Amino acid sequence: GQQLNQSPQSMFIQEGEDVSMNCTSSSIFNTWLWYKQEPGEGPVLLIALYKAGELTSNGRLTAQFGITRKDSFLNISASIPSDVGIYFCAGQLNAGNMLTFGGGTRLMVKP
């Protein structure tokens, strides 16, 4: 079946630094989603991408839908302590198909 490889698995950064993480797939997706999960809570949708090459921002977060349709990137600028959590990517081939989740990137921010 389809698999999503998310990297890095974890990051420990200093407050104020920029963060980059990505997801790659062995096959194409037509929708990419990025979620954030805080400790003990459910994942919350951050950004949804629907078109290859699309670049979408949500505050300090920017995500891109790779032109090959097999990858997506999430960047966080000027990190702050409340950015701590696990970030998950998810891909969907077509509307009506199941989501496939990446393994998550655990972000830790040192004040």
Residue ranges in contact with another protein by CB under 8 A = 31, 33, 35, 40-45, 48, 50, 88, 90, 92, 94-96, 98-99, 101-104, 106
Pick from 34, 40, 41, 36: nearest CA to 56: 34
Three-state secondary-structure class, residue 81 = helix
Of 45 and 78, the one with the shorter C-beta distance to another protein is 45
CB of 78 to another protein, least distance (A): 26
Of 16 and 53, the one with the shorter C-beta distance to another protein is 53
End-to-end CA, the chain: 41
The Cβ-side half-sphere exposure at 110, using a 13 Å CA radius, reads: 4
Of 28 and 99, the one with the shorter C-beta distance to another protein is 99
